[in-house]
Structure 1
Amino acid sequence: MQTVYEAAGSADFFLRLANAWHARVMADEVVSHAFSHGFHPQHSHRLAAYWTEALGGPPVYSDSYGDETSVIRLHSGNGPHEDMDRRAVACFDQALADVGLADDDPVRKVLHNYFTWAATTTMSRYQRSAEDVPDGLRIPHWSWDGPVGETGSGGADSRPSAKGP
């Protein structure tokens, strides 16, 4: 039984996906606004490490870059942005095609579900202020069946289930 991370092809796949998604959002007139203040020069590598950890791979993001609190604070305090979220998901779906995942690939479906959930739930939770984000959040994990454990809480330390196609 494979994790989503393993079924997707591991770290190289997620770096290709992060690069493809970043290129798509930078070309989108609405979503690119989120990057107008600038972004880390290693954004795609960090994003790939985050997705890797969330989807059953090694905890590279937590070990090297930060925790969920730091990620959520970067995405907080911007008010509601449903249109931007929808467009970010559309860019993600296009990036999935860019990296060669067919429409009927089960990995594509689970990645779409994960990204949609993350964009519209965890990354949008603290619309008023980044100061509202509590300390000690851990990266939520995602399995073939969706969120694992108490996602986004300080107690979420379970690894994704080993289900797979």
Structure 2
Amino acid sequence: MKNVPTLYNWVGGNDALENLTRVFYDKVLKDELLHPVFKSMSAAHTKHVAHFIGEVFGGPPLYTEGDEGSHAKMVSHHIGKLLTEAQRQRWMTLLLESADEVGVADDPEFRSALVAYLEWGSRIAVINSNLTDNPLQHDAPMPQWGWGVPGGPYIPEP
């Protein structure tokens, strides 16, 4: 496929990601298992997460430049939280339910890339939540996530 779009463009850009994270965190705050972890999140948290995901998915550096964040800063938010596997799984379930609810692209290639990133990131969050020190230096590069194999969205032949 020529001109393969970024995951960021395929998902619908920043507006789509901000909508997704807003709907998702509304669910999180009503969830018995996750509420204790997120009850003190800032009002801007949903946008910061959307900007982070957007940047990882090939979008503009809204997190690193606009939110003055870094990959290390994102990791630092998880240090010492002692997240459990049950919380991680609930987080995944609610996020994927939210993606369906708001109409995030549901083609197999995009969802495969999305789930792969969320699985990877949420498992690292659990690992880091059991640390007392951030394993990343401030200048650690942002992760970059792409389509993987076969390398683009599925578009049936006419």
Is the structural similarity TM-score above 0.5? yes
> Which residue of 2 is the match for residue 126 of structure 1?
128
Decide which of 18, 24, 27 is 1:15's aligned counterpart.
Answer: 18
SS for the counterpart of 1:125 is helix
| Rg comparison, structure with higher value | 2
> What corresponds to 2:156 in structure 1?
none
Superposition TM-score, scaled by structure 2 size? 0.83
- Structure 1, residues 105-155: CA drift from partner, whole Å, max 9, x if none? 53233212211211112x223233342433222321111118xxxxxxxxx
Note the C-alpha offset of 1:35. Answer: 1.1
Instruction: Report 1:6-155 matches (<5 A).
Output: 6-36=9-39, 38-65=40-67, 66-101=69-104, 104-121=107-124, 123-136=125-138, 137-145=140-148
Q: Which runs of 4+ in 1 moved over 4 A?
A: 102-105
SS at match of 2:24: helix
SS class of match (2:127): coil
Q: Cα gap change, 1:135/1:20 in structure 2, threshold over 3 Å: closer, same or farther?
A: same
C-alpha distance in structure 2 between counterparts of 1:117 and 1:24, whole Å: 22
Query: Normalized against structure 1, the TM-score is what?
Result: 0.80
Structure 1, 49-58 or 25-34: larger mean CA deviation: 25-34
Aligned sequence identity (%): 24
Q: Which runs of 5+ in 1 are unaligned?
A: 147-162
Query: Are 2:16 and 2:104, in contact at CA under 8 Å, matched by a contact in 1?
Result: no
